[in-house]
Amino acid sequence: MPSLTRVAVRNVLSTPRRALITSGAVIVGCTAIVFMVGMNLGFAEMEVSNAVGLMLGHVQVDSARGARTVPAGPVLAAAAEVAEVAGAAPRLEIPALAGAPGQARGAMLLGVDAEREASTSLFPRLVVDGKLPGANDGDAVALGAPLAEQLHVKVGDQVPIGFLTLSDDLGRARLRVVGLVRSGSEDLDPRLALVSIATARRLYESPPDGTGKVVIKARANAETDAAAGALRGRLDPGVYRVRTWREVSPFLRGLVSFQYGSVNVVLVILYVIVGLSVAAVQVIGILQRTREFGVLSAIGFTPSRVLRLVALETLLVGTVAVGIGLVLGVAVTALVNRLGGIDVRWAGAENLEGMIGVDPYLRPLVSRYGLAMAAGLVAPILGLGGVLPALRAARMIAMDVLRY
Amino acid sequence: MSALLEAEGLTRIYGGPEGRVALADVSLEMAAGEMVGLAGPSGSGKTTLITLLGGLEPPTSGRATLDGEDVAALSAPGQARKRASLIGLVFQTHNLLAALDAEENVALAVETAFGKKSDPGGRAREALAALGLESRRHQRPGELSLGEQQRVAVARAIAMRPKLLLADEPTASLDWESAAGVLDALSALASRGCAVMIATHDERCLRRVQRTITLRDGRIQAERSALPNP
């Protein structure tokens, strides 16, 4: 004699088409939710990565008291101890004028450590001609390509630079152009003049270890807060100020938050579509069984026992289908990620050409949040979509069976 | 003979007090072992009367008792098992569960009403054997002819050992040979003391019953003894 569970299993197995249709809706729904949540997270990740990759960094350390320079050594030593930190680079930013008198252009003389920038920022990737000034390239400079054009200089030429020193004196120097760089930013490229951090210190007359700020790259965007927290714990708060990119750039934080929320609106629409689809398939499937529930009722099944039967069947189909849907969602998300992501230029983001360092590939991310959203949304809808019509059917239709 | 089933003033109105009167002031009695036919044109109230006597829904007014127990009380959802143990129901068609085989269909009903300790499998095999379906007991409804399906439904009712069996057009979709087999089974059940009521249009069925009640427009139009065999 079949127990209720065995009857439920028989019902599922004997109606494979019905089980497949219900499972199909659940699998497609779960897969879509896991993937789309992954896309949203990947989008936010891409946006942050693109924004912090060059100038901003995940974390910045500068003076707590507003001093123009602070010792870089303790910051670099602390960063080396923090596991969440992928790279740290000192920078010294000096207001300057580049070019001969009468032709001078406003410039930003930026002292960088080319070796450290390789693991911290995208600066090394900006070089379109020549190289970045190295530690031993005394009076070398790499100019933004538009700035070089305005000054009519090329690699190998000399360019006069005027600047303010730490003591607010006017300084002058002739620097040799060793490279041209282009970030794609119309704001940055026409004023960018990169020198080695040692040259910047010398010109600025800063202490030998002085730096305006140290830019930190975290191992991952998600580890930004952990990296910042660990650095705060290691640095004297009376000397150093540690800020994440969100604190340094509230505008960017707001932009990321706005776009994340906007995509979430699309996700909510997806949730509704998936929810309605799953509910519709389940409700139709149950309503088609009105006669069956009537027979069960007529042979003595109480409404609660009919409900238990439907709940068992839903549990069987739902567990398998949700499981497959989640696995498929993870697999599709991971596959797209592994294949390099989706080129958003294909989807209309055409103006990324020439934006060096801006990654045009959207890589969806597998997340527990996505899995929880998929299972947490689909499972209850599947349950309610089965149980509610079954309850109605079990209460109403024993007599209807007699009428046919 | 004392009455096993007594109905008095049974009335059923669908759609509120001003709604359609499906059954109006029907009173009847049935004794244990009696086989009664229920005749009348479509819409005359036969199915509604079966429904009320079967405790599948309560009457708008009036009362029916089975062995002294109010049938309306059996309409409550929680009374489904008790109703199933007292009253057997055989429908015209589509009354078996497609996913289960013949034996399981019968055994499930027995287990539902009496529990696992009631030897549902044994009672199912016994009932199926009584209807000549022993060799077909592992076939699912889709693998059985309509006549065989109906006999399984009767076997299910027999296995429950009910006091009252209500059959609504049990032979309507059967050829006469199959119909005769079903009627034989119902007669055998009646001979064991079960009151059997058969709602039917088929005069051949009505010749097998002891008494026929004819309904028209929800009221009893006539009551007569068995039709003579031609």
Q: How confident is the model over A287-333, as pLDDT tens digits?
A: 778 778 878 877 878 778 888 888 888 888 888 999 999 999 999 99
Give me the pLDDT at residue A362, please: 83
Domain boundary among A209, A237, A265: A237
Pairwise CA distance, residues A121 & A13, whole Å? 58
Asked whether residue B147 is domain-assigned, the answer is yes
Give the mean model confidence (pLDDT) for residues A267-285: 83
Asked whether residue B83 is domain-assigned, the answer is yes
A396: confidence class by pLDDT, cuts 50, 70, 90: low
Helix (H, G, I), strand (E, B) or coil at A114: helix
A352: confidence class by pLDDT, cuts 50, 70, 90: low
Task: Give the domain extent around A45.
Answer: 4-52+253-402
Specify the CATH number for the domain of residue B112.
3.40.50.300
Same-domain check for residues A162 and A298:
no
Give the mean model confidence (pLDDT) for residues A248-269: 86
A348: confidence class by pLDDT, cuts 50, 70, 90: low
CA B161, B165, B167 angle in degrees (round to 5)? Answer: 140
Beta bridge partners of B215: B220
pLDDT in tens, A93-151: 999 999 887 888 999 999 999 999 999 988 888 899 999 998 888 899 999 999 999 99
CB B77 to CB A292 under 8 A?
no
**Looking at beta carbons, which residues of chain A come within 8 Å of B97?**
7, 292, 295-296
Asked whether residue B45 is domain-assigned, the answer is yes
Same-domain check for residues A176 and A314:
no
pLDDT in tens, A164-217: 999 989 999 999 999 999 888 888 899 999 999 999 999 999 999 999 999 999
Nearest Cβ partner of A402 from B83, B85, B168?
B168
pLDDT in tens, B19-29: 889 999 999 99
Asked whether residue A360 is domain-assigned, the answer is yes
Structure tokens at B78: 């929680």
Confidence check: pLDDT of A358 > 70: no
Helix (H) or strand (E) segment spanning residue A333: helix A303-338
Is the CB of A292 inside 8 Å of chain B's CB atoms?
A: yes
Give me the pLDDT at residue A404, please: 43
Sign of torsion, CA B67 B72 B74 B78? negative
Nearest chain A CA: its distance from B230 CA (Å): 31
Give the mean model confidence (pLDDT) for residues A27-46: 88
Can you give the pLDDT of all 230 residues of chain B as single tens digits? Answer: 578 999 999 999 988 778 889 999 999 999 999 999 999 998 899 989 998 998 878 899 999 999 888 888 876 666 677 777 888 888 776 678 988 999 999 999 999 888 888 899 999 999 999 888 999 999 999 999 888 888 898 899 889 889 999 998 888 877 888 888 888 888 988 998 999 999 998 888 898 999 999 999 999 998 887 666 55
Query: Which chain B residue's Cα is nearest to A395?
Result: B77
CB A299 to CB B107 under 8 A?
no
**Looking at beta carbons, which residues of chain A come within 8 Å of B99?**
7, 10-11, 13-15
**Looking at beta carbons, which residues of chain B come within 8 Å of A303?**
77, 80
Give me the pLDDT at residue A351, please: 64
CB A404 to CB B107 under 8 A?
no
Give backbone dihedrals phi and psi of B132, rounded to 5 degrees, phi first.
Answer: 70, 25
Q: Tokens 């007359």 label which residue?
A: A205
Asked whether residue A87 is domain-assigned, the answer is yes
Contact between residue B199 and residue B50 where contact means Cβ atoms under 8 Å apart:
yes
Asked whether residue B230 is domain-assigned, the answer is no
Please tell me the total count of domains within chain A: 2
Contact between residue A19 and residue A281 where contact means Cβ atoms under 8 Å apart:
no
Give the mean model confidence (pLDDT) for residues A374-383: 84
Same-domain check for residues A90 and A167:
yes
Structure tokens at A242: 């540690």
Sign of torsion, CA A325 A327 A328 A334? positive
Task: Give the domain extent around B19.
Answer: 3-225
E runs forming strands in B40-163: 61-66, 69-70, 87-90
Contact between residue B162 and residue B190 where contact means Cβ atoms under 8 Å apart:
no
Pairwise CA distance, residues B82 & B80, whole Å? 6
